[in-house]
């Protein structure tokens, strides 16, 4: 007779925020990332599409719900109440549907989730959840709250201080390395100590490195060359330490949420809207949406989210058309290069009960043009202090012991794929599709 | 948020807004991250759990007792049960309150004339014409709650105001974490905005 009791399927997920597929391949060609290299022999890796817009809050929300933003209600790191125009920071409290770990918990699985973006405040799970960098106070970062004691005892850091990257590079790098070390140390400690069926450790530090030091990757003569490579050797080492713990029977997934490319310019869409006469302020331009003049027709929140004001019916359709063609014609000076590659209409990309909170349009920039939401900037395109920006088509997904079948993987597809790996039933209104 | 569940019981005349408000409350709770919510609507219950029961006092009591029993099971298993049922008799509502324990009574107070004018289901017209019998408010009594946790004046308030009243009461009773305590203090909010600004995310 066959086995009447199947072995419990355990799943381990490691998130490497903002690490591009193309970058990993080139690093491997250059003889770097030895731990990653040995993993490739045991599984498959593919390029993966992110979300629109491609920021971590949206991408990881779609990862952890398997649903489009119209269903999970997270559209960026900042949002506004459509009626009052109050600005707020979307958190897990605004997430309109159940997460992967909540679903697993309901099916009796224990989870251990560390640092995934948009998990603050930590919603209750069957297990442990340590929230993300949207948390400021370590006493409030975890569920159950008692875990914070362990975190403090071990010297856990929620996030590296990004301000330092501009003011004191050496201090920032030290902080970044220490934050990474502590994150992995805590992750491995809880991995051993706790009982779980699903484990996820998220490394945010890669995204931070790429934002401030991407020149170290693309320019051989960059002064950041050494620190960049040194950092990624540490990341690979950490990956090796985690992977060595995972028994061969367990499932292992490693993924990122978006790609990266060098920044050419920052593009202030609100300044452009002001130049077009579509956005006016009562008095000085400011970040306060309530100070927008009633005759205004649109405003933008980063990256590339555009909201119409006072528009309805056929008039809006005409304005929408004009806005889209104007955006696609938006050119950098003096090069004359197009800065926008695509403009999505709300109805093309968002569907669900939170669709009404979505932007009317989302502009996708050409690589190198980072779309900003600054209201008071004088110029449309300006030099950036940052070195790297996100791209939407160059995330990666690695799955051990399985062949990824789709060559058009999207981050939203990982949710149903994990449910399937854990031998759990499909969920009805998930937007992603199975990748294996 | 407390780990244990509780029951929110909407009572009031037919047409007083129980169904509308209970659905809105369900969405609001889900938006706040409370995902284990079950809505038990009186009209739906009568086609399943209480199929075959009529509208005599005895049958009405049996119906409300059954709903109360289900709420007790749900609540003790960590689910928030929301009931929208006329539940006209005070005594049996109080029995449920005692049985369930974590019980929040929400009275949808609305003058009979307004409910008759609304007449969403067209049943007041039939009752007044004598085509149906034992209709609450027409030829069957409705007993106001004496000490409901929340009283909603649905002929004077907007649904948003009513929902806010309920949420504030649930926060005051400790069933919900006040939003400001749960997410950021003013100082923390400033800090997180700074952090996002430093990362170029604002």
User: What is the tens place of the pLDDT at every residue in A97-107?
Assistant: 999 999 998 88
- Domain membership of residue B31 (yes or no) is yes
pLDDT band at B33, cuts 50/70/90?
low
Q: Kindly state the average pLDDT of the residues A185-212.
A: 96
The answer to whether the CB of B81 falls within 8 A of the CB of B40 is: yes
Report the residue of chain A nearest B202, measured CA to CA.
A78
DSSP state of B136: B
The answer to whether the CB of A371 falls within 8 A of the CB of A302 is: yes
pLDDT band at B161, cuts 50/70/90?
confident
CATH of A11-262+389-421, one of 3.90.1170.50, 3.40.630.30, 3.40.720.10, 3.30.559.10: 3.40.720.10
What residues 161-190 of chain B have any CB closer than 8 A to a CB of chain A? 179, 182-184, 188-189
Residues in chain B: 202
Classified as helix, coil or strand, A281 is strand
- Domain membership of residue B178 (yes or no) is yes
Q: What is the pLDDT of residues A46-57, one digit of tens each?
A: 999 999 999 999
Classified as helix, coil or strand, A11 is strand
With CA atoms as reference, report the closest residue to A120 among A137, A99, A135: A135
Checking phi first, is residue A95 left (phi over 0); if not, alpha (psi -120 to 50) or beta?
beta
- Domain membership of residue B106 (yes or no) is yes
**Statement: residue A6 has pLDDT above 60:** no
Q: What percent of chain B has pLDDT over 70?
A: 94
With CA atoms as reference, report the closest residue to A260 among A48, A16, A22: A22
Interchain CB distance below 8 Å, B3 and A124: yes
d(CA A289, CA A376): 12
d(CA B6, CA B148): 15
To the nearest whole Å, the CA of A22 is away from the closest chain B CA by 23
- Interacting residues of A106 by C-beta distance below 8 A, sequence separation 6+: A126
Checking phi first, is residue A155 left (phi over 0); if not, alpha (psi -120 to 50) or beta?
left
Q: What is the CATH classification number for the domain harbouring B77?
A: 3.40.50.300
Phi, psi of A360 (to 5 degrees): -75, -35
pLDDT band at A2, cuts 50/70/90?
very low
pLDDT band at B178, cuts 50/70/90?
low
Report the residue of chain B nearest A386, measured CA to CA.
B200
Domain A265-382 sits in CATH at 3.30.1360
Minimum-distance CB partner of B202 among A78, A135, A137: A78
Interchain CB distance below 8 Å, B183 and A121: yes
d(CA B27, CA B34): 9
Q: Where are the beta strands (DSSP E) in A93-172?
A: 111-114, 127-130, 142-143
Supply the mean pLDDT for chain B. 90
d(CA A43, CA A401): 5
Q: Tell me the three-class secondary structure of chain A, residue by residue.
A: CCCCCCCCCCEEEEEECCCCHHHHHHHHHCCCCHHHHHHHCCEEEEEEECCCCCCHHHHHHHHHHCCCHHHHCCCCCCEECCCCCCEECCCHHHCCCCCHHHHHHHCCCCEEEECCCCCCCCCCCCEEEECCCCCCCHHHCEECCCHHHHHHHHCCCCCCCCHHHHHCHHHHHHHHHHHHHHHHHHHHHHHHHCCCCEEEEEECHHHHHHHHHCHHHHCCCCCCHHHHHHHHHHHHHHHHHHHHHCCCCCEEEEECCCEEEECCEEEEHHHHHHHCCCCCECCCCCCCHHHECCCCCEEEECCCEEEECCCCHHHHHHHHHHHHHHHHCCECCCCCCECEEEEEEHHHHCCCCCHHHCCCEEEEECCCEEEECCCCCCCCEECCCCCEEEECCCEEEEEECCCCCCCCEEHHHHHHHHHHHCCCCCCCCCCCCCCC
Interchain CB distance below 8 Å, A77 and B202: yes
Alpha-carbon radius of gyration of chain A: 22
ipTM: 0.91
Classified as helix, coil or strand, A259 is strand
- Return the domain boundaries, chain A: 11-262+389-421, 265-382
Interchain CB distance below 8 Å, A78 and B189: no
Q: Kindly state the average pLDDT of the residues A284-305.
A: 91
Interchain CB distance below 8 Å, A89 and B196: yes
Residue with tokens 């005051």: B172
DSSP state of B139: T
Report the residue of chain B nearest A55, measured CA to CA.
B201
Q: What percent of chain B has pLDDT over 90?
A: 72
Q: Could you tell me whether strands B37-41 and B80-84 are parallel, antiparallel, or unpaired per DSSP bridges?
A: parallel
To the nearest whole Å, the CA of B180 is away from the closest chain A CA by 11
Supply the mean pLDDT for chain A. 94
The whole-number pLDDT of residue A7 equals 55
**Statement: residue B169 has pLDDT above 70:** yes
Q: What is the secondary structure of A93-114 as a DSSP string? A: GG--S--HHHHHHHTT--EEEE
**Statement: residue A378 has pLDDT above 60:** yes
The whole-number pLDDT of residue B183 equals 85
Minimum-distance CB partner of A96 among B31, B183, B198: B31
To the nearest whole Å, the CA of A396 is away from the closest chain B CA by 22
**Statement: residue A216 has pLDDT above 80:** yes
Minimum-distance CB partner of B192 among A92, A136, A384: A136
**Statement: residue A177 has pLDDT above 60:** yes
Q: Kindly state the average pLDDT of the residues B168-186.
A: 75
Q: Kindly state the average pLDDT of the residues B55-79.
A: 95
Interchain CB distance below 8 Å, B189 and A91: no
Q: What percent of chain A has pLDDT over 90?
A: 84
Classified as helix, coil or strand, B192 is helix
pLDDT band at B182, cuts 50/70/90?
low
d(CA B7, CA A427): 27
Instruction: Provide the β-strand partners of residue A79.
Output: A88
Q: Which domain holds residue B167?
A: 6-198
Between helices A414-421 and A56-65, what is the axis angle to 10°?
40
**Statement: residue A118 has pLDDT above 80:** yes
| Least trusted range by pLDDT, from A5-9, A167-171, B43-47 | A5-9
- Domain membership of residue B1 (yes or no) is no
Interchain CB distance below 8 Å, A208 and B193: no
Residue A431 has which token pair? 């937007």
| Least trusted range by pLDDT, from A212-221, A258-267, A370-379, B24-33 | B24-33
Other CB atoms within 10 A of residue A358 CB:
23
The answer to whether the CB of A235 falls within 8 A of the CB of A201 is: no
The answer to whether the CB of A230 falls within 8 A of the CB of A32 is: no
Residue with tokens 């996820």: A200
Residue B201 has which token pair? 């995310």
To the nearest whole Å, the CA of A248 is away from the closest chain B CA by 35
User: Would you give the distance in Å from CA A118 to the centre of its chain?
Assistant: 9
The whole-number pLDDT of residue B3 equals 54
The whole-number pLDDT of residue A3 equals 45
d(CA A149, CA A155): 10
The whole-number pLDDT of residue B2 equals 43
The whole-number pLDDT of residue B32 equals 65
**Statement: residue A314 has pLDDT above 80:** no
The whole-number pLDDT of residue A284 equals 83
CA distances from A319 to A25, A147, A340 (A): 43, 52, 18
Query: What total number of domains does chain B contain?
Result: 1
Q: Which residue has the higher pLDDT, B55 or B171?
A: B55
Residue A313 has which token pair? 């019916």
- Please tell me the pTM assigned to this model: 0.73
Residue with tokens 């939407």: A392
Minimum-distance CB partner of B33 among A123, A133, A211: A123
d(CA A67, CA A350): 10
């Amino acid at each position: 007779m066959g086995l009447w009791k199947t072995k419990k399927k355990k799943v381990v997920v490691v998130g490497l925020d903002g690490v591009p597929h193309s970058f990993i391949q080139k690093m491997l060609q250059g003889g770097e990332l030895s731990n990653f290299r040995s993993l490739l022999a045991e599984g498959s890796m593919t390029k993966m599409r992110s979300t629109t817009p491609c920021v971590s809050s949206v991408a990881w929300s779609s990862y952890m719900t398997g649903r489009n933003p119209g269903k999970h209600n997270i559209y960026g790191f900042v949002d506004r109440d459509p009626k009052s125009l109050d600005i707020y920071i979307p958190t897990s409290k605004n997430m309109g549907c159940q997460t992967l770990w909540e679903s697993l918990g309901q099916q009796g699985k224990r989870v251990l989730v560390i640092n995934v973006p948009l998990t603050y405040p930590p919603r209750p799970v069957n297990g442990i959840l340590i929230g993300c960098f949207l948390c400021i106070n370590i006493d409030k970062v975890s569920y159950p709250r008692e875990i914070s004691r362990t975190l403090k005892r071990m010297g856990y850091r929620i996030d590296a201080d990004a301000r330092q990257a501009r003011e004191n590079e050496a201090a920032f790098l030290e902080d970044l390395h220490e934050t990474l070390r502590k994150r992995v140390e805590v992750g491995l400690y809880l991995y051993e100590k706790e009982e779980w069926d699903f484990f996820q450790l998220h490394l945010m530090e890669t995204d931070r490195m790429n934002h401030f030091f991407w020149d170290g990757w693309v320019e051989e003569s960059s002064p950041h060359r050494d620190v960049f490579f040194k950092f990624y050797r540490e990341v690979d080492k950490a990956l090796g330490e985690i992977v060595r713990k995972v028994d061969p029977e367990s499932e292992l997934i490693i993924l990122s949420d978006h790609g990266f490319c060098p920044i050419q310019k920052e593009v202030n869409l609100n300044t452009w809207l002001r130049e077009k006469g579509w956005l006016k302020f009562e008095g000085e331009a400011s970040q306060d949406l309530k100070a927008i003049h009633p005759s205004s027709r649109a405003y933008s929140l980063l990256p590339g989210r555009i909201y119409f004001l006072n528009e309805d019916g056929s008039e809006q359709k005409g304005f929408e058309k004009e806005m889209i063609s104007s955006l696609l014609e938006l050119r950098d000076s003096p090069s004359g290069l197009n800065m926008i590659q695509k403009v999505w209409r709300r109805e093309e990309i968002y569907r669900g009960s939170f669709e009404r909170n979505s932007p009317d349009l989302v502009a996708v920039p050409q690589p190198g043009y980072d779309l900003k939401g600054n209201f008071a900037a004088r110029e449309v395109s300006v030099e950036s202090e940052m070195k790297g920006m996100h791209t939407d088509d160059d995330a990666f997904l690695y799955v051990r012991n399985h062949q990824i079948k789709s060559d058009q993987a999207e981050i939203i597809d990982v949710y149903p794929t994990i449910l399937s790996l854990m031998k759990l039933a499909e969920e009805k209104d998930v937007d992603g599709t199975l990748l294996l | 948020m407390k780990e244990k569940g509780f029951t929110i019981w909407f009572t009031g005349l037919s047409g007083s807004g129980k169904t509308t408000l209970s659905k809105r409350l369900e969405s609001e709770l889900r938006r706040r991250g409370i995902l284990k919510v079950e809505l038990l609507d009186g009209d739906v219950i009568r086609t399943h759990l209480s199929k075959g029961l009529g509208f005599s006092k005895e049958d009405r009591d049996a119906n409300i007792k059954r709903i109360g029993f289900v709420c007790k099971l749900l609540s003790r298993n960590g689910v928030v049960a929301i009931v929208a049922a006329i539940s006209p008799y005070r005594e049996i509502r109080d029995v449920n309150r005692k049985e369930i324990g974590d019980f929040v009574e929400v009275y949808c107070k609305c003058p009979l004339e307004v409910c008759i004018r609304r007449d969403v289901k067209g049943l007041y017209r039939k009752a007044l014409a004598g085509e149906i019998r034992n209709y609450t408010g027409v030829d069957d009594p409705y007993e106001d709650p004496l000490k409901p946790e929340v009283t909603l004046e649905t002929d004077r308030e907007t649904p948003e105001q009513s929902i806010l009243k309920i949420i504030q009461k649930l926060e005051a009773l400790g069933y919900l974490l006040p939003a400001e305590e749960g997410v950021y203090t003013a100082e923390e909010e400033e800090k997180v905005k700074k952090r996002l600004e430093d990362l170029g995310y604002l």
